[in-house]
Amino acid sequence: MARPGAPGLLLCVALVAAVAPRGTWCGSCPPRCVCASNILSCSQAVLSAVPAPLPRFTAVLDLSHNNVTRLRADWAPGRLAHLHALLLSHNGLSFVSTEAFTHVPHLRHLDLSSNRLRALEENLFSDLTELEVLLLYNNEISTVDRTAFENLNRLRKLYLGQNRISRFPLELLRDGSRLPQLALLDLSANRLRHVPVGELQALPAWLRDRLYLHGNPLACDCALFQLMARGRRRRLSAVVDFQEELRCALPSAPAPVGILALAGRAPLNCSEAREAVLEAHLGDTVTLSCDTRVRGARSRHWVTPGGERVLQEGGNGSAALLGNGSLQLRALRAEDAGTYACWVAGPLLNETLYVELLVHNFTLHGPHDTLNTAYTTLVGCILSVVLVLIYLYLTPCRCCCCRGADKAPPPRDDSINSSVLSATPNHAVGAAGEPGRSRSASGASVGQNGRFKAGGTPQVPPRHGPRAQRKVSDPDSVSSVFSDTPIVV
């Protein structure tokens, strides 16, 4: 005997199985988790390990605020091809296997913040080739391996703030081969004491302008001051929004001082850098002027966008230091574009001047050649239109017209050259009793447009009455249709 409600329960199971994604079954959501479509939320579920089994259609997995302290290679028993966001913050996580992300190749967002990670090991994230955002802030990271971010060609944002990093390998970012899409780097609240300004200048502009360094125990120097002053002039968020936290240590000061307050302050006497913009074209020779206001400058040298120093007068290659401190660049290339810095050391004041060089990707005569090509194309189009109009409206006469032109025209009073719409009679009146008799012969005659008609216009028998004088029109006459002569009835 069936229990009451059994048919309804079976119907419910059938319906759920019909609408559920492929590979799922009733009860596929792990215990203590909430499943909503392809989102699996297990936050604050007092979990010590990743729940299993995980639905294969999971796209977002939230495991934050739990006690998952180790992320082993087998945390995901199968391949999660649809997973693009993994949240593991606030777990006390202290170990992540280098093979932990083998089963999630399409991950784009990874949150490992607020844990206890101490080091970024070799090739830790090399399997995440599609990763775009990586959050590692508020950990205990002190060392970063040079290969930790290998193969992250799509990474756009990297957050490493509030850690214990004393040195970050900025040289990994300089050549652009690693992390080519990186547009934000947060190194705030770490233990950085010295920042290689030369390497920072060599970074791409979109990354240099979104580099966060506040909250570090930096050592004061004029290069650091000018870097921050330049960011303040450009209203960069990394400088303007964190001015109070941009501090550095002076040997003679008992407490850190504001980096932007170093202007004219002893013992550094830093001055704000001035910046100029120069435009040039491929193959040009330009001279970058180091127009300093420092009197009695003891030394000058230039730093190229690639971080290379030009110290000696004359120089080698395409860059040469002139006697007056200017930098001459010969045979410009596209890669010569960027920010050049002139460092001037004086007896009382140091100064840095920046020159932004823009190299247009065409030669000096490029625009004129383009204009000439466009003008030639326009003239050709106009000429083609004129030729078409001449062909349509000024077509020469046909051969039949030319052959019939040397023949004597027929009498003007012949009915073949007359119009039925003409007011003047085209037929002469014969003898009495013979109205409408044509004087033309009954033999062959020449018709309009040079065509021959065997018998001329046929004779019409005389008629009596008011309509007796009506003329017979030539059916081949064209002028009779378009004649402007008024019709006579």
Helix, strand and coil percent figures for the chain, each rounded to 5: 20, 20, 60
Q: What is the pLDDT of residues 166-202, one digit of tens each?
A: 999 887 777 666 888 898 999 999 999 988 887 787 6
pLDDT of amino acid 294: 67
C-alpha–C-alpha distance, residues 141 and 139, integer Å: 6
- How high is the pLDDT of residue 436? 43
Residues 486 and 489: their CA atoms lie apart, in Å, by 10
In the predicted structure, residue 486 carries a pLDDT above the cut 70: no
Task: Between 300 and 216, name the one with better pLDDT.
Answer: 216
**Terminal Cα-to-Cα distance of the chain (whole angstroms):** 110
- pLDDT of 252 reads 80
Q: What confidence category does residue 425 fall into, taking pLDDT thresholds of 50, 70 and 90? A: very low
Contact in structure between 51 and 30 (CB atoms under 8 Å): yes
Q: Kindly report the average pLDDT of the chain as a whole number.
A: 76
Which tokens belong to 310?
């030009």
Map 14-65 to HEC letters. Answer: HHHHHHCCCCCCCCCCCCCCEEECCEEECCCCCCCCCCCCCCCCCCEEECCC
Share of the chain above pLDDT 90, in %: 32
- Residues 388-413: tens digit of each pLDDT: 888 888 766 555 555 554 555 555 54
> 320-354 pLDDT, tens per residue?
888 778 888 888 888 888 888 887 877 766 677 77
Cα–Cα separations (whole angstroms), residue 410 to 208, 399, 401, 441, 469:
97, 20, 15, 11, 23
Cα–Cα distance between 370 and 117 in angstroms, integer?
A: 58
pLDDT of residue 233: 82
